[in-house]
Amino acid sequence: MNVLSKMLDLTASKCVFQYHPKCKRIGLTHLSFADDLLIFWKGTVNSVVGIHCVLQEFYKYSGLLPVRYLKAPLVNRRLTERDCAQLMKKVEGRALVLPKVVIKRLAQLCSRFFWKGGDLKACGARVSWEMICKPKNEGADVHVLKGNPFVEFVPPKTCSWFWRKLLKLRSLAGSLVDSTTGGWRLQGRFFVKNAWQEIRRKQPKVHWARTEYDRGVNTFSPEGRLFQVEYAIEAIKLGSTAIGIKTKDGVVLAVEKRITSPPHRYWTLFQEPSSVEKIMEIDDHIGCAMSGLIADARTLVEHARVETQNHRFSYGEPMAVESTTQALCDLALRFGEGDEESMSRPFGVSLLIAGHDENGPSLYYTDPSGTFWQCNAKAIGSGSEGADSSLQEQFNKDLTLQEAETIALSILKQVMEEKVTPNNVDIANVAPTYHLYTPSEVEAIITRL
């Protein structure tokens, strides 16, 4: 564009064309933009002819259109077959189609030259057996590596990691080699697999069915088991012990609080016992005790709280204890891999849900599979087996709340490793409203033991 600008200014100064009347005073002949060019001249035939001559001259300087790239023209329209004819000829000229027989023969010639150094048939072994096949009495070795006996070969510093690792096994392989004959003492036909079985480090067999099916949270094993649910149940067996007892007046819940299982011995000085919640209120007539993962329990309890409040807002009455338990178990059942909103694994927690509604007091037990049962008395957690045995001996349907409190705390005392104190035990009852005992009330029950 600089060349065109100079040409226009020069021809205007030589009167090849006349200036526009409005531009003559400042000597303006044109304005150029990114993709536009405005040329100003006087509206006479001579000026038009002069401008045309300038543009024709500039056309000769700037080259011919269209510009070509890879033998194809750069045009602002769709390319046609005619435009690409030169490119097609170029590609066809470089394409060399050889028959399959010719390619096979060329590969054969290359193989013969590589192995034999000429056009000779490349048959036989691909290694040199000159030294290894000499008779024993002529000094041949049975096992040769880099021209040296295998057992005496010293790997160089530049040796690869694989060879260094392999040569470290010589001490183990030595027990398999007969020192008199130099042969392997393996019976029957020799296989590399048999030699490896002799020298490898033995590991216990892995039950592949279990490792294959325990990855899916909703995949049954051939034995009809859901391993993820079983793992969640195992987590509950490691949790703190919780006991629930139903009486004619209400339900009592008692839970062990493990605040003395520290990462260091000063933990109890820093941890606030009241911050450990093992019994939670769902509604003013429902409470629950838990064993297992506390985070999972909080998720279930929050869901149950929302359900009870929605029911109270919609129907103007408290939600039944069984309906609350059912809603809670519906959430526990929604674990899986197909639904984005589902949980990625089963909840690793078990709950004892105590409540009082129009049907009277009730106690329900839930597990990670999403099922629940109604119970008169139940224990969950690490000490559940011993606690259940004691409950079978001491429970009867005519118990009072005070007697149930004493029984629950006495059983906890039996299964707990530490002395029972108000700091490591939580007690609550629902009779008919939820009430969590204060430390002084717990201390009063402990004195009755």
Q: What is the pLDDT of residues 218-248, one digit of tens each?
A: 666 666 677 777 778 888 888 889 999 999 9
- State yes or no: pLDDT of 362 exceeds 50: yes
Dump pLDDT digits (tens) for 180-199.
Answer: 444 545 455 667 777 777 77
Structure confidence at residue 416 (pLDDT): 86
Please check whether residue 309 lies inside any domain of the structure: yes
* Final residue of a structural domain among 68, 103, 126: 68
State the DSSP H helix or E strand holding residue 380, giving kind and residue range, or none if neither. strand 377-380
CA atoms lying within 13 Å on the CB side of residue 56: 6
* Final residue of a structural domain among 68, 90, 123: 68
β 286-292/279-283 pair status: antiparallel
Look over the chain and give the mean of its residue pLDDT values, rounded to a whole number: 80
- State yes or no: pLDDT of 426 exceeds 60: yes
Please check whether residue 125 lies inside any domain of the structure: no
- How many domains does the chain contain in total? 3
Statement to judge: residues 318 and 394 lie in one domain = yes
Query: Is 185 exposed, middle or buried (CB count within 10 Å of its CB: 0-12, 13-18, 19+)?
Result: exposed
Statement to judge: residues 56 and 188 lie in one domain = no
Statement to judge: residues 264 and 411 lie in one domain = yes
- pLDDT-derived band of residue 139, with 50, 70 and 90 as boundaries? low
* Final residue of a structural domain among 53, 68, 83: 68
Nearest Cα residue to 380 out of 260, 298, 292, 287: 292
Please check whether residue 134 lies inside any domain of the structure: no
Please check whether residue 90 lies inside any domain of the structure: no
Dump pLDDT digits (tens) for 93-127.
Answer: 777 778 889 889 888 888 888 777 777 776 665 55
Please check whether residue 221 lies inside any domain of the structure: no
Statement to judge: residues 300 and 433 lie in one domain = yes
Please check whether residue 51 lies inside any domain of the structure: yes
| Backbone torsion region of residue 124, taken as left when φ is above 0, otherwise alpha when ψ lies between -120 and 50, otherwise beta | left
Statement to judge: residues 314 and 429 lie in one domain = yes
CATH code at position 347: 3.60.20.10
> Can you tell me the distance from the alpha carbon of 352 to that of 242, in angstroms, rounded to the nearest whole number?
8
Statement to judge: residues 257 and 386 lie in one domain = yes
- pLDDT-derived band of residue 170, with 50, 70 and 90 as boundaries? confident
What is the SS3 string spanning 124-181?
CCCCCCCCCCCCHHHCCCCCEECCEECCCCCCCCCCCHHHHHHHCCHHHHHHHECCCC
Contacts 24+ apart (CB under 8 A), 417-420: 418/260, 420/446, 420/449
Statement to judge: residues 441 and 298 lie in one domain = yes
Statement to judge: residues 380 and 236 lie in one domain = yes
Please check whether residue 371 lies inside any domain of the structure: yes
Statement to judge: residues 349 and 234 lie in one domain = yes
Statement to judge: residues 167 and 39 lie in one domain = no
Statement to judge: residues 163 and 244 lie in one domain = no
Query: What Å distances lie between residue 23 and 1, 20, 336, 420, CA to CA?
Result: 20, 5, 81, 107
Taking the model in full, what pTM does it have? 0.51
β 360-366/286-292 pair status: unpaired
Mean pLDDT of 408-416: 90
Statement to judge: residues 375 and 313 lie in one domain = yes
Please check whether residue 430 lies inside any domain of the structure: yes
Q: Which domain holds residue 159?
A: 142-199
Q: What strands lie across the sheet with 242-246, from one edge to the other?
A: 377-380, 242-246, 251-256, 425-430, 434-436
